[in-house]
């Protein structure tokens, strides 16, 4: 499985809010949200790997870059 994110302003009929912080919401379809339980999202502005960092304690395996995982 892989993580994929886009910026959007419209929710689909099958979408549900997973996390919210003010006006910012993390949204997923109901089927995929089962795999996001335990997901934490952090942002780093360091020189080597700036950007969002996703960590899922329920993932049994993940690749070195953190973009894909298995449950």
Instruction: Please report which helix (H) or strand (E) contains residue 28, including its range.
Output: strand 24-29
Q: Which sequence spans correspond to the domains of the chain? A: 15-70
Q: What angle do CA 4, 66, 38 make, to 5 degrees?
A: 75
Quick one: which of 29, 18, 23, 30 has its CA closest to 54? Answer: 18
| pTM recorded for the entire structure | 0.60
Confidence at residue 54, expressed as pLDDT on a 0 to 100 scale: 76
Confidence at residue 65, expressed as pLDDT on a 0 to 100 scale: 57
The CATH number assigned to the domain with range 15-70 reads 2.60.300.12
Instruction: Please report which helix (H) or strand (E) contains residue 71, including its range.
Output: none
């Amino acid at each position: 499985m892989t993580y994929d994110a886009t910026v959007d302003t419209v929710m689909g009929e099958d979408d549900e809010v997973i996390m919210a912080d003010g006006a910012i919401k993390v949204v997923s379809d109901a089927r995929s949200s089962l795999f996001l339980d335990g997901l934490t999202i952090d942002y780093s502005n360091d020189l080597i790997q700036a950007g969002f960092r996703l960590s899922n304690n329920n993932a049994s395996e993940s690749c070195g870059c953190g973009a894909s995982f298995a449950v």
